[in-house]
Structure 1
Amino acid sequence: MRVLVLGSGAKDHAIAWWFSQSRLIDGLYVAPGNVGTKTIAVNLAIDPSDPEQVYEACQTYGIDFVFVGTEAPLFTGVIDFLNERGIDTFGAPNRALKLEGDRNFARMFSDRHNIPTSSHVLFDDEEKLSEYLKRHEGERFVVKSNAIAPSRIMVDSSDYSTLMDFSRGLLATGPIILEEHLNGLPITITLFLDNKGYLMLPTSSDYMKVEEGGLPTGGMGSICPVPLQKDLSQALVDSIIEPVLFGLKAEKMAYKGVLTISVIITKNGPILVDYHVRFNDPAAQAFVPLINTDIVDILDAMKHDTLSSLNLEVSNQSAVALVVASEGYPEKPIIGKKLESMPAPLLYNSFEGAPRYFFGGVQEYEGKLVTTGGRCVTVVGVGYNIMNANKNAYKGVKLVNFEGAWYRQDIGNRFFEN
């Protein structure tokens, strides 16, 4: 099998690395890729969101299968375009995209199928929003765009001026969602779906702010797996996973691909926050190194609707993913900074037992590694428990050096500190 992975972030590097471990592929390509994917695959200089360019690349390089794990190509119709032309794909088709692309629809979908979710109100008018906030003075809310947007495009506050100032910018482009603030443990559930069932990957917990209580970001770290009690794990299946899958079938949105569900574990049980019809970053970087099952075997089971009977082989170790970001991220990241040299075996993720390095906003220019975005490198430490994995991640991150580099100092701490 010859595989093309679409994307250029750390998540896409992790997925490509997973494919590179397969015994069942004989060609691996990434479009457009980055400096990390270059070490394990052939990078293609095409626009992954342009269906015609992707299809032409498939013809040129004899691609059998296209894997779309990132959002942009999904929302430009790449999946349907390729399927109509006989190219096998992994990713959500157009009919399922509104689950992520329209938050109000997603909330109503949850309500229709009795899935616990945060209370919310949709606004497209600044005056009505202002009146509502004044009536609920002092209450804490989360403001998000109703349409698909980077997860950092939100604010969580009880201050009227903060909420209004942020909302004005979003309202200029479309409606917003005002949600209640939820206290609890955030977890990320990742499911492979087929027509008859699902396969659940190890559950993670993501850190989505620059610091505790700070600005929201696209994600600064993740731990995997999350230590959950048996009754809580069953509650996730009974109150969220099974009703979601039933709803997808009932509303003719079921598909073969991945579904990621963001949940908050509150004192009243699990509450669904968001749906994503793709992998999440940095959750993917955390769980990929722990999975021993060949990804092609998983995709073959998906093709034949046997996912629910597949035995997923997962390491008994833990992973801590730590994101190294550029100065100024998430508001105005400063790019163009040179990375200091790293030992080649680490750069290529070929040293067994060492942390994994998945590259995002980094490219190679004239033989030098240079930052090109806000989140540059995800360092994943693996160990016999979360504390040990944490130590390995923070030891490994010392080898990622560029001017202005920073990262959170507390990833994983809440799971082993008293």
Structure 2
Amino acid sequence: MRVLVLGSGAKDHAVAWWFSQSRFINGLFVAPGNLGTESIAVNLSSVDPSSPEQVYDACVAHSIDFVFVGTESPLFTGVIDYLNERGIATFGAPRKALKLEGDRRFAREFTHRYGIPTPSYYVFEDEKTFADFIERHPGKRFVIKRNALSPSRVMLNSDDPASLLAFARPLLVNDAILVEDYRIGMAVTLSVLMDNKGFLALPACSDYMKTGTGSTGLPTGGMGSICPVPLKDCVRNTIMDSIVLPTLHGLKTEGLAYKGVLTFSLIDTPEDGPILVDYHIRFNDPAAQAGIPLVKSDLVEILQAMQNDTLADFKLEISPQCSVAVVIASEGYPTSPMTGMTVADVPVVVRNNKLASTPRVFCGAVQHIDGKPITTGGRNITVVGVEDTIADANHKAYEIVHLIRFPGAWYRSDIGNKFFQQ
């Protein structure tokens, strides 16, 4: 099979690496790719992954059999529908399903129709109405999100009226905002692969979304993740029975079902158990980087089962080990990341993920420019340690994190700690 992966982030590198392990692959391409993908695939750096026409032309030029879309931008520009209409097999959500992520108000109304637990929420379209609402709830903590697609999952939780208004004001210029009650609990990310008759649940992860140790500081697109989450059986069962299965039923009922991935962002609350806070019609970063190295099954065989509507019968093989993913970011991220920094050379066996005994290194915003590895965005490299315990995986990841250097590089030092420190 000749495969094209669309994207240039660390999760796209992780997906490409997963494909590269398959015995069925005889051609692997990534558009546009990054520093890491060029060692396992052919980077099509001139192809805009959000352009349906350019992606289709690349498929014809390189005899592509299958296009994998795990990142948001190509989904929302209609790449999936465009390719399917021209006979090219794809992995990803079509236009009809985009509102699950691209319209939070619709998503909340959907969950209400199927009895799926979520935080109480409110939608505002103008600043005055929102300001009046905040004034009527002094001292209460809320979470503010843009109603439409927010690729980096940036949001604010605060009980300070001035901060809430300052965050909401620019969003309300062009969009509505969704405001929900702040809920305390452990974050859980669960990705489910779906076909017309069943699904496969991948190992659940827990993401670290803030800049500072102890989940303080600014919200980000994700600074680290652990996998699997040590959930009690009763919690796992509740997630399936009250969130995943009703969602899949609702998708079929409303004609929104598709073959691809749906990611559930959850909070396991002490009062009400697991509740849904967002749907993502794609893989999440950095949960994908943490989870993918633990899946031992051949990705092509999984996708073939998906195409044949036999996912429910597929025996997914998962490693019994644990992973800790640590994201290395640029100075100034998430507000104004510095770019153009040269990344110091990393040993080849580490950079190319050749040895099972070393952590996985997945590149994000790093490209070869004039022969040098140069940072091009905010989150640059994810290091994933895999070991028998979360503590050991943490230790393995941070051993390599220290080897990856560029001016202004920073990372959180506590990824995974809460799961093994008392």
TM-score w.r.t. length of structure 1:
0.99
State the match for 2:29 in structure 1: 29
8 Å contact kept, 2:265–2:278? yes
- Please state how far the C-alpha of 1:365 moved relative to its aligned partner: 1.6
Task: Return the alpha-carbon distance in structure 1 between the equivalents of residues 39 and 137 of structure 2.
Answer: 54
Deviations 1:297-328 (A, max 9, x none): 00000011111111111111000000000001
8 Å contact kept, 1:142–1:157? yes
8 Å contact kept, 1:346–1:354? yes
State the match for 2:237 in structure 1: 234
**What code does the residue aligned with 2:144 have?**
V
Task: Return the alpha-carbon distance in structure 1 between the equivalents of residues 172 and 39 of structure 2.
Answer: 43
Q: 1:265 aligns with which of 240, 263, 268?
A: 268
Task: Return the alpha-carbon distance in structure 2 between the equivalents of residues 35 and 385 of structure 1.
Answer: 30
**What code does the residue aligned with 1:17 have?**
W
State the match for 2:59 in structure 1: 58
Q: CA RMSD in A?
A: 0.7
Task: Return the alpha-carbon distance in structure 2 between the equivalents of residues 395 and 308 of structure 1.
Answer: 39
1:351 matched to 2:355? The reply is: yes
- Please state how far the C-alpha of 1:217 moved relative to its aligned partner: 0.2
State the match for 1:216 in structure 2: 219
- Please state how far the C-alpha of 1:88 moved relative to its aligned partner: 0.2
Deviations 1:222-267 (A, max 9, x none): 0000111111111111110100000101111000000000000001
**What code does the residue aligned with 1:281 have?**
D
- Please state how far the C-alpha of 1:352 moved relative to its aligned partner: 2.2
Deviations 1:144-179 (A, max 9, x none): 100001344321100000000111010012111111
Task: Return the alpha-carbon distance in structure 2 between the equivalents of residues 213 and 390 of structure 1.
Answer: 20
State the match for 2:327 in structure 1: 323
**What code does the residue aligned with 1:391 have?**
H
**What code does the residue aligned with 1:365 have?**
I
Q: Map of 1:158-307 to 2, 5 A cutoff?
A: 158-211=159-212, 212-267=215-270, 268-307=272-311
Q: 3-state DSSP class of the match of 2:109?
A: helix
Task: Return the alpha-carbon distance in structure 2 between the equivalents of residues 330 and 285 of structure 1.
Answer: 19
1:102 matched to 2:103? The reply is: yes
8 Å contact kept, 1:199–1:307? yes
Matched residue count: 418
8 Å contact kept, 1:151–1:216? no
8 Å contact kept, 2:72–2:151? no
State the match for 1:140 in structure 2: 141
1:392 matched to 2:396? The reply is: yes
Task: Return the alpha-carbon distance in structure 1 between the equivalents of residues 283 and 115 of structure 2.
Answer: 25
Task: Return the alpha-carbon distance in structure 1 between the equivalents of residues 356 and 315 of structure 2.
Answer: 24
Q: Map of 1:2-41 to 2, 5 A cutoff?
A: 2-41=2-41
8 Å contact kept, 1:329–1:374? yes
Unaligned 5+ residue runs, structure 2? none
Task: Return the alpha-carbon distance in structure 1 between the equivalents of residues 116 and 391 of structure 2.
Answer: 34
- Please state how far the C-alpha of 1:368 moved relative to its aligned partner: 1.2
State the match for 2:382 in structure 1: 378
Deviations 1:15-42 (A, max 9, x none): 0000000000100000000010000000
State the match for 2:407 in structure 1: 403
State the match for 2:366 in structure 1: 362
8 Å contact kept, 1:74–1:93? yes
**What code does the residue aligned with 1:178 have?**
V
State the match for 1:117 in structure 2: 118
8 Å contact kept, 2:367–2:375? yes
- Please state how far the C-alpha of 1:125 moved relative to its aligned partner: 1.0
Deviations 1:334-379 (A, max 9, x none): 1111111111111111122101100001011222111111000000
State the match for 1:86 in structure 2: 87
Q: 3-state DSSP class of the match of 2:332?
A: coil
Return structure 1 stretches of 4+ with deviation > 6 angstroms. Answer: none
- Please state how far the C-alpha of 1:273 moved relative to its aligned partner: 0.3
Q: 3-state DSSP class of the match of 2:131?
A: helix
State the match for 2:69 in structure 1: 68
**What code does the residue aligned with 2:263 have?**
T
Task: Return the alpha-carbon distance in structure 2 between the equivalents of residues 83 and 76 of structure 1.
Answer: 14
Task: Return the alpha-carbon distance in structure 2 between the equivalents of residues 365 and 153 of structure 1.
Answer: 29
8 Å contact kept, 1:100–1:148? yes
Deviations 1:380-402 (A, max 9, x none): 00111100000001111011100
